[in-house]
Structure 1
Amino acid sequence: MSIPQTARYKDLNKRYKLRRSLGRTIIYVLLIILAAICILPFYSMLISSTHTNQDISTKLLLWPGNQFVNNYERLMGTINVWRGFLNSLIITVSSTVLTLYFSALTAYGFSKYDFKYKNLFFALILGTMMIPGELGIIGFFQQMNSFHMLNTYWPLILPGIANAFGTFFLKQICDTAVSHEILESARMDGCGELKAFHRLVLPMMLPSIATFGIFAFIGTWNSFLTPMIILFNNNMQPLPVMVAMTRGQFSTDYGAQYVGILISVIPIMVLFAALSKKIMNNISAGALKE
């Protein structure tokens, strides 16, 4: 290789490295800006919970204040926040467990079994995802009234058994993650259908179940309309409904309300932190092709 060609090669290599470094820098800057935008609402909520109502209403708050304890005491004087927290925990955990188990079971059935009108039934399940839940709230209320379930937690827990999105989401995972050969081997070894589901299918789908579990948990935890309609006893209300009760007719205690919102967000953040590794594993697995 001649000297001019070597110099040209080095120059091109230098330009390539410079462009790659510049591209990485731009991506990092954009990611930092995006992360700051995502964190900003949580930071604002945290900062607002430490200031007075007047400061929240009239000032741009950037730094913590010293009114968190006073806001918390006013919140406790208005509602029993920890009772609401316990109510939300009971409803959400029970509903999420039912949603995950029966969604996985239904998805497994649609994925690995052949039966008459299978595609039609699956299409009907997907069709229910197009109907807003608010349209059926009156009929749901009347049905729960006929079952004598009003002012109980059952109407908030049992519907988790039938989750159309969960069935759709987990079926796609079961189609690729669970092979027919493994199931056939288990059956030849005398493993029953439910035992095969619990011992083989569930562990294989665990990362996807964890991912969907976060969405199911958040959706149930933040549920507002249905508990407000079904539950008449204020002490039975979940935390989001109780926090909304701090809003008065002529004035709103913003400091106390922000403290209540902060308390309601903590379980979601803890759950996401606990299952984030499962989510990343699921995303990585979905990005690979055989």
Structure 2
Amino acid sequence: MAKVITKGILYLFLVIVAASCLIPFYSMFVTSTHANSDIARKLLLIPGDQFFDNYNRLKDTVNIWRGFANTLFITVLSTILNVYFAALAGYGFSKYNFKYRNALFVIVLGTMMIPGQLGIIGFFKLMDSLNMLNTYWPLILPSIHNAFGIFLMRQFADSSVPTEIIESGRMDGYGELQIFNRIVLPIMSPALATLGIFAFIGKWNDFLTPMIILFDNNLQTLPVMIASLKSQFTSDFGAQYVGIVIAVVPVLVFFSFMSKRIIDGVAAGAVKG
């Protein structure tokens, strides 16, 4: 009987935690269905009937679906580059013995201590000298380097990629890149999924860099377009919340799609530990 009660209390606690995690999403959706006056003055608990009015104002103010497409294009390419090159570098640090390997790895990790905002002026000047301002290259190419991703992939390769299987590939005549692409990457898929979700969310929500690099409104990303709805004197809260709903949906879909791989990655790390 005590076990049943304990189990019931545990399940109740988990339900409460899950519900508390869903409250912000529910509040966001409910708020997007109300008029600006209600949003500013009331505590909103049930959906209203102003969603399409808010959406129409959003669509008339900014080219929201163009921004959605721009953000999706940048995010998908950046995530692919981020995950692949982080895996390649992490695998190299893990399985290749070369001079100053540990020192270089410490330097890579050291870059995590420097906030990216500190280098934004130098980054802007560099992109200007390369004639890359008002293009997507400054938003995509830096994704090749990700110190956290390299660290994550090295740790996973150390624990989950046997050296014997690499030697076996070499004996079969595979080149180093063939071994990485055909043998190592499938083994590292849980870690790839884990890093992919972080990379996707980080790039999807990126606000500062697109705002500084892109000047053409048709090239702007979704976060910048949504922020532009707020001026110095007025704020269209209803339209903003509809834009936030549109921006959050792809993240939820991507996370749901990758969640099984993420759980597999956590479980694999627990078993190895």
Instruction: Identify the TM-score tier after normalising by the shorter chain.
Output: over 0.9
1:47-58 matched pairs, under 5 angstroms? 47-58=30-41
Residue identity over aligned pairs, in percent, reads 60
Q: 2:27 aligns with which of 44, 55, 70?
A: 44
Please state how far the C-alpha of 1:283 moved relative to its aligned partner.
Answer: 1.6
Counterpart CA distance in 1 for 2:220 and 2:4 is: 54
Please state how far the C-alpha of 1:33 moved relative to its aligned partner.
Answer: 1.6
Please state how far the C-alpha of 1:98 moved relative to its aligned partner.
Answer: 0.5
Q: Does 1:147 align with 2:118?
A: no
Residue 10 of structure 1 corresponds to which residue in structure 2?
none
Residue 237 of structure 1 corresponds to which residue in structure 2?
220
1:151-166 matched pairs, under 5 angstroms? 151-166=134-149
Residue 64 of structure 2 corresponds to which residue in structure 1?
81
Counterpart CA distance in 2 for 1:156 and 1:273 is: 25
Q: 2:2 aligns with which of 19, 34, 46?
A: 19
3-state secondary structure, aligned to 1:268: helix
Q: Does 1:209 align with 2:192?
A: yes
Q: 1:116 aligns with which of 99, 102, 121?
A: 99
Moved more, 31-40 or 72-81: 31-40
- Give the alignment's TM-score, normalised by structure 2: 0.98
3-state secondary structure, aligned to 2:188: helix
Residue 54 of structure 2 corresponds to which residue in structure 1?
71
Partner amino acid, structure 2, of 1:103 = A
Moved over 3 A (4+): none
Counterpart CA distance in 2 for 1:30 and 1:53 is: 36
1:86-97 matched pairs, under 5 angstroms? 86-97=69-80
Please state how far the C-alpha of 1:91 moved relative to its aligned partner.
Answer: 0.7
Residue 258 of structure 1 corresponds to which residue in structure 2?
241
Please state how far the C-alpha of 1:276 moved relative to its aligned partner.
Answer: 1.1
Q: Does 1:176 align with 2:150?
A: no
Counterpart CA distance in 2 for 1:23 and 1:126 is: 43
Counterpart CA distance in 1 for 2:91 and 2:247 is: 34
Counterpart CA distance in 1 for 2:32 and 2:272 is: 47
Partner amino acid, structure 2, of 1:124 = I
Residue 135 of structure 1 corresponds to which residue in structure 2?
118
Counterpart CA distance in 2 for 1:127 and 1:20 is: 48
Rg larger for = 1
- Give the alignment's TM-score, normalised by structure 1: 0.92
Counterpart CA distance in 1 for 2:122 and 2:231 is: 30
RMSD: 1.0
Please state how far the C-alpha of 1:277 moved relative to its aligned partner.
Answer: 1.1
Counterpart CA distance in 1 for 2:125 and 2:4 is: 63
Counterpart CA distance in 2 for 1:283 and 1:61 is: 37
Contact 2:159–2:272, Cα closer than 8 Å, also in 1: no
Please state how far the C-alpha of 1:60 moved relative to its aligned partner.
Answer: 1.1
- Deviation digits for residues 260-284 of structure 1, max 9, x if unmatched? 0000001101101111111111122
Counterpart CA distance in 2 for 1:196 and 1:84 is: 39
Which runs of 5 or more residues in structure 1 are unaligned?
1-17
- Deviation digits for residues 216-274 of structure 1, max 9, x if unmatched? 00000000001100111111110000000111221111000000000000110110111
Aligned length: 273
Q: 2:108 aligns with which of 91, 115, 125?
A: 125
Q: 1:274 aligns with which of 244, 247, 257?
A: 257
Which runs of 5 or more residues in structure 2 are unaligned?
none
- Deviation digits for residues 62-102 of structure 1, max 9, x if unmatched? 11111111000000011000000011011111111110110
Please state how far the C-alpha of 1:122 moved relative to its aligned partner.
Answer: 0.1
Counterpart CA distance in 2 for 1:136 and 1:52 is: 41
Counterpart CA distance in 1 for 2:152 and 2:261 is: 16
